[in-house]
Amino acid sequence: MEIFWYIVLIFMLATYVVLDGYDFGAGIIHLFFAKKEKDKKAITNAIGPFWDANEVWLIAAGGILFFAFPTLYASSFSGFYLPLIMILWLLIFRAIGLELRGQIHHPMWEAIWDRAFGIASLLLALFFGIALGNVVRGVNLGMVKDGVSTQEAHYFFLPLWNPTFSPQAEQLGIIDWFTILLGIISVIVLTIHGANWIIYKTNSALNPKLKDVIFKLNFVLLALVIFSLFIWHIIEPKPFHNFIDYPILWVFPLITFIGLFGLFNIKRFKKDGLGFLFSSLFLVGGLASTVASIFPNVLPSTNNVNPSLTLYNVAADAYGLSVGIIWFVIALILVIVYFIIQYKVFSGKMDDVGYGEH
């Protein structure tokens, strides 16, 4: 039963990364590349009808975490309190940046909310990558100091950074050189993903330039991915042990690199949606590969005093997990119907939607 709910949780997170990921990427493109008003309009039109629905997947994932893995929920939401509050504020500013821009047609007003939308999107992409880095690296469960656990075994709290900026310090921080690396990778891949969505959903004059940006950024992404795989050995001495023990898991890295290398053909694609398909494959494959590499851990411990939080020691009672399946099926059917209707209504190019105009 724990495996089922874990798969559901990862599925929801992967769906959120793919769907809201293109919103973040579109915001980054909006910040750095959209200089003309018609280009800005094209970007907001491309994501306008979708962005708030896409965020629902994050809320749903939080609900599954609370219901199925309460110990992990309690541990994570207390330990990552500072960055979670920052992410909440960034989500708010991204939303009001989109909604308030069109209320008053004045250059200063529009510039303020353009910056709010773009900077919030950039920082959200960075912070979600840093969050993944923290999960891969692990945390100091029990707040062990000098070999003695000072708190309960599942409790931890991290400052934003530690004085050494090292992922191998006893007292860790949210931000160190390893988590920053994954944050930068996140920014680059979501920029590519957002650009692909804009190409897919608009006929913007910006699209040829975006294809060139995607092609160039893909070389940077490839180099950083290879570099991160070597760096991973510093954090985890045997990072690929699950793939060696269970060769079937290599399908996830394969999906990742199919997506990555497919993007090098972005200038040759005849169909605009192919770029988005390949960047989605990279995101799903990358997330699945990361999860598979640390399984069954869900939050590794960096000390030898307290054990890691695993899929099995953080799960709720079996009876509650089984009862929840009924409600999950009902909710899933409703969500699928909603998304089919939404994406059917807003199928095709979105140039003439006019989102945010008042």
Taking the CA atoms of 68, 70, 76 and 81 in sequence, report the sign of the dihedral they define. positive
Rg of the chain, C-alpha, whole Å: 21
For the beta carbon of residue 260, count every other beta carbon within 10 angstroms.
21
DSSP 314: S
Q: What pLDDT sits at residue 356?
A: 63
CB 155 within 8 A of CB 78: yes
pLDDT for residue 126 = 96
Check if the beta carbon of residue 94 is closer than 8 Å to that of residue 115: no
Q: pLDDT 10s per residue in the chain (358 long)?
A: 889 999 999 999 999 999 999 999 999 999 999 888 888 888 998 998 888 888 889 999 999 999 999 999 999 998 998 889 999 999 999 999 888 887 888 888 888 999 999 999 999 999 999 999 999 999 989 888 888 888 888 899 888 888 888 888 878 889 999 999 999 999 999 999 999 999 999 988 899 999 999 999 999 999 999 999 888 888 887 888 899 889 999 999 999 999 999 999 999 988 889 999 999 999 999 999 999 999 999 999 988 889 999 999 898 888 888 888 888 889 889 988 988 898 888 888 877 777 766 5
| The pLDDT value given to residue 357 | 62
Q: Are 176 and 165 in contact (CB under 8 A)?
A: yes
Spell out the alpha helix ranges (H) of the chain.
2-32, 37-47, 51-54, 56-68, 70-79, 81-100, 107-137, 177-201, 207-235, 241-245, 251-262, 273-294, 318-345
pLDDT in tens, 181-240: 999 999 999 999 999 999 999 988 899 999 999 999 999 999 999 999 888 888 887 888
Evaluated on CA atoms 54, 55, 56, 59, the torsion sign reads: positive
Q: How many residues does the chain have?
A: 358
Dist. CA 269–CA 267, nearest whole Å: 6
Q: C-alpha dihedral over 128, 181, 279, 343, to 10 degrees?
A: 10
Classified as helix, coil or strand, 139 is strand
Tell how strand 148-149 and strand 309-310 pair up.
unpaired
Query: Phi/psi of residue 64, each to 5°?
Result: -65, -40
Please give the DSSP secondary-structure letter assigned to residue 354: -
Angle at 291 between CA 290 and CA 292, to 5 degrees: 90
- In Å, what is the CA distance from 249 to each residue of 289, 293, 310, 335? 8, 9, 19, 29
- Is residue 134 within 8 Å of residue 179, measured between CB atoms? yes
Residues 146 and 56 sit within 8 Å (Cβ to Cβ): no
Q: How far is CA 284 from the centre of its chain?
A: 10
Contact criterion met (CB below 8 Å) for 324 and 68: yes
Long-range CB pairs of 80-88, under 8 A, 24+ apart, other chains included: 80/131, 80/134, 80/158, 80/174, 81/157, 82/158, 82/159, 82/160, 82/174, 83/127, 83/130, 83/131, 83/160, 83/174, 86/123, 86/127, 87/124, 87/127, 87/128
